[in-house]
Structures are given as structure tokens and as C-alpha cells.
Amino acid sequence: QVLLAESGGGLVQAGGSLTLSCVVSGSTFDVYSVGWFRQAPGKEREFVSAISWRGGSTNYADSVKGRFRISRDNFKNMMWLQMNSLKPEDTAVYYCVADPRNIVTIGGSFEYWGQGTQVTVSS
């Protein structure tokens, strides 16, 4: 069992920055891929970014490329999503995710999910 806990959400003005954090605990030796999804009001959950837990592979949704940066420190059992140049359409609940498979570049369905943290970008 892998447990995920996000933090760092909040209210920010358009053009601003925010960094989300995720603590990865439990059976971390089972983890291969970690990442972030988001869900805006009235919309389906969508893939944001992913990174391999012990390697360097990364993947980003086209909508966030060049603005968001994912990073992780598997010794500290932490993952981050640095979000710059935020837009109102980035408003969503952001979820930290993990999976034992190598699905970094696929961005498919992840097995483990956190509770989510709200990010609101005002115009």
C-alpha cells in the first residue's frame, strides 16, 4: 500500500506561481511512476505530469508544458509540482498519484491517489 498526501494548494492571481508538495509513504519500494492529475469543476480528471520515482523520465500534458515542472526526491520520499505563469484554467483539485508500473510516458490510470489539494487561479 502506498499513501500519498498533497499540500501547497491555495489562491493565486493569474501569472503567479505555486508549488505543490506530495509525501509518498508506505510501500515506496513498489513505486515506479509518480505524478499529478487534476480535476476542474464539471470536468473529468486529466493528466498533468509524471516522473519516474528512481530515474529521470518526465512527461507533461501539452497544456502545462513550459510552465510546470515536476521533481522528486525518493530519499526524502517527496515529490513537487512547481507551477508558473498560472492561468484561470489551471483552477482545479490537484491529485498526487503513484503506480508500480512504468507509465510515466503513457500517463494512464494510476493505482494510488492522494486526497487532493485545491488550486484556484483568479483572473
Judged against a pLDDT cut of 90, whether residue 47 lies above it is answered with yes
Per-residue pLDDT, averaged over 36-50, amounts to 95
Q: Cβ–Cβ contacts within 10 Å for residue 100, how many?
A: 16
SS (H, E, C) 74-123: CCCCEEEEEECCCCHHHCEEEEEEEECCCCCCCCCCCCEECCCEEEEEEC
Contact assessment for residue 58 and residue 72, using Cβ atoms and an 8 Å cutoff = no
Q: List, for residues 71-117, the tens digit of each pLDDT value.
A: 999 899 999 999 999 999 999 999 999 999 988 887 678 999 999 99
* Higher pLDDT, residue 102 or 20: 20
29 — pLDDT class (breaks 50, 70, 90): confident
* Higher pLDDT, residue 54 or 38: 38
Judged against a pLDDT cut of 80, whether residue 49 lies above it is answered with yes
Predicted local confidence at residue 5, as pLDDT: 97
Predicted local confidence at residue 52, as pLDDT: 93
Percent of the chain clearing pLDDT 70 (strictly above): 99
Per-residue pLDDT, averaged over 37-59, amounts to 93
